[in-house]
Amino acid sequence: MGNAIFMTGTGTEIGKTVVTSIVALALERLGMSVSVFKPVQTGLAEDGVSFAEQYWYERVAKLSASEGMYYMEPAMSPHLAAKLTGTSIEPERIAERLEWLKQRYDVVLVEGAGGLAVPWCERGGRWYMTSDFVRDYELPAVLVSLCGLGAIHHAVTTAAYANAKGIRLLGLVFNQFQEQEIIHQNNVETIAALLQLPVLAVVPLLPAVARRELEALAEQWIDQGKANQWLEVLGVGV
Ligand SMILES: Nc1ncnc2c1ncn2[C@@H]1O[C@H](COP(=O)(O)OP(=O)(O)OP(=O)(O)O)[C@@H](O)[C@H]1O
Ligand SMILES: C[C@H](N)[C@H](N)CCCCCC(=O)O
Ligand SMILES: [Mg+2]
């Protein structure tokens, strides 16, 4: 039975998809079988016809295994995109597929749409949130954060929300890091200290984001021992 990790972020456009791709490539290099699962996708890719994450995972990152379940064209919160497209998001169906994937892969990286406090569907007169799914199916989560001005509040409030919902955060990944920026340097240290979480990776701001950049970062993580730290966090020995 494989392990599943929920890849969340301090919001949308933080770099969950990019970071998830690098993690997938690094773990595969360590001999793990990895699938990426983005069950709820909203918004189209630059080609104007494909769904954003599926396009990225299949055609940019060229991962060996990736899939979605609910694909909605409006680039909106899932609850609204679902309303406008007449889509009925069923968490139980997502959970069933996730269990199937865990039977087949060592690691399943599950990407959320936006941050944790994002509504999917109505249940019993209230919104069923992304965080409800993560909690109900006991998925440990990795939090992706940016590094610039504002990142502290976004990371601290996201972590507080996760804790309040009973979600276990395994660690932090900082994205779009710029070494020359003192705010970035200090934010990595300050946020990790405030949240008392390990820094699993720091991804630089890349001039271009294509497979070769992702592969280079995956190799770097392995060389730095960061990828092995992921396996420890995952609870799978190398
Ligand atoms: N380290 C990076 N360097 C340069 N560009 C980046 C980096 N990380 C992400 N990007 C770019 O930032 C944008 C948002 O990234 P991404 O799609 O991974 O965000 P996301 O958190 O997955 O968003 P969503 O909530 O829609 O899933 C994309 O155009 C992506 O190519
Ligand atoms: C369209 C976007 N890229 C994501 N797929 C969905 C982001 C949902 C964010 C909801 C919110 O926090 O307001
Ligand atoms: Mg994404």
pLDDT band at 136 (very low <50, low <70, confident <90, very high): very high
Please state the atom number of ligand 2 nearest to the C-alpha of residue 53: 5
What pLDDT was estimated at residue 52? 92
Please state the atom number of ligand 1 nearest to the C-alpha of residue 205: 3
Mean residue pLDDT across the chain: 96
Task: Return the CA Rg of the chain.
Answer: 17
| Nearest Cα residue to atom 5 of ligand 2 | 42
Q: Tell me which residues are annotated as active site.
A: 38
Can you say whether the dihedral through the CA atoms of 88, 92, 94, 97 is positive or negative?
Answer: negative
Share of the chain above pLDDT 70, in %: 99
Predicted TM-score (pTM) of this structure: 0.97
Report whether 202 contacts 189 (CB < 8 A).
no
Tell me: pLDDT of 236 over 80.
no
The rounded Å distance from CA 112 to ligand 1 centre is 13
Tell me: pLDDT of 238 over 60.
no
Q: What distances in angstroms separate CA 189 from CA 13, 27, 83, 159, one per listed residue?
A: 22, 25, 41, 16
Distance CA 151, CA 4 (A): 26
Average pLDDT value for residue range 89-98: 98
Kindly state if the Cβ of 223 falls inside 6 Å of ligand 1: no
Q: Which neighbouring-strand residues pair with 107?
A: 3, 34
Kindly state if the Cβ of 229 falls inside 6 Å of ligand 2: no
The rounded Å distance from CA 10 to ligand 3 centre is 12
Proximal ligand: closest to the CA of 61: 1
Tell me: pLDDT of 120 over 70.
yes
Report whether 174 contacts 199 (CB < 8 A).
yes
The interface predicted TM-score (ipTM) is 0.99
Kindly state if the Cβ of 72 falls inside 6 Å of ligand 1: no
165 is known to lie in a ligand binding site: no
Query: Which of 38, 209, 217 to mutate for ligand 1's pocket (most ligand atoms within 8 Å of CB)?
Result: 209
pLDDT: which is higher, 227 or 150: 150
pLDDT band at 226 (very low <50, low <70, confident <90, very high): confident
Report whether 179 contacts 187 (CB < 8 A).
no
What pLDDT was estimated at residue 235? 79
What pLDDT was estimated at residue 162? 98
15 is known to lie in a ligand binding site: yes
Tell me: pLDDT of 113 over 80.
yes
Q: Give buried/exposed letters for 132-159 (b at 16+ CB in 10 A, else e).
A: bbbbebebbbbbbbbbeeebbebbbebb
